[in-house]
Amino acid sequence: MNKSELVAEIQKNLGDASKAEAEKALSAVLSSIKSAVKKAGKEVKLRDKDSKDAVAIQLVGFGTFSVGKRSARSGINPLTKEPIKIKAAKTVKFKAGAGLKDLL
């Protein structure tokens, strides 16, 4: 499913909403998730590496978005086969909730 199909599905579920209203609703939800993840990403700096990930947003029955740390590591350049150093980075994690898992 792509974004336009998701907008159509939201429009269908809302009933009498227009496509523009459905797209606006989706954009508002995605924007809110992005800002919560960004805020949680700043919290990760304050935590030591042994603590849990910073929870950005938790939707009971759907899942949890969180920000975690990925430590620096060595890798191999696939073109030249030379070893390279990969910097530490933050990453977004999603863990499906029980309600979503039960659908599968």
The total number of residues written for the chain in this structure: 104
- Describe the chain by its helix, strand, coil percentages, rounded to 5: 40, 30, 30
**CATH number of the domain enclosing 98:** 4.10.520.10
pLDDT tier at 57, thresholds 50, 70, 90:
confident
pLDDT tens digits for range 67-78: 888 899 999 999
Q: Which percentage of the chain shows pLDDT scores above 90?
A: 57
In degrees, rounded to 5, the angle at the alpha carbon of residue 31 between the alpha carbons of residues 29 and 35 is: 120
Average pLDDT (50-78) is: 85
Lowest mean pLDDT among 45-54, 78-87, 90-99: 45-54
Lowest mean pLDDT among 9-18, 40-49, 52-61, 81-90: 40-49
| Structural domain span for residue 13 | 3-103
3-class state of residue 2 by DSSP:
coil
Structural domain count, the chain: 1
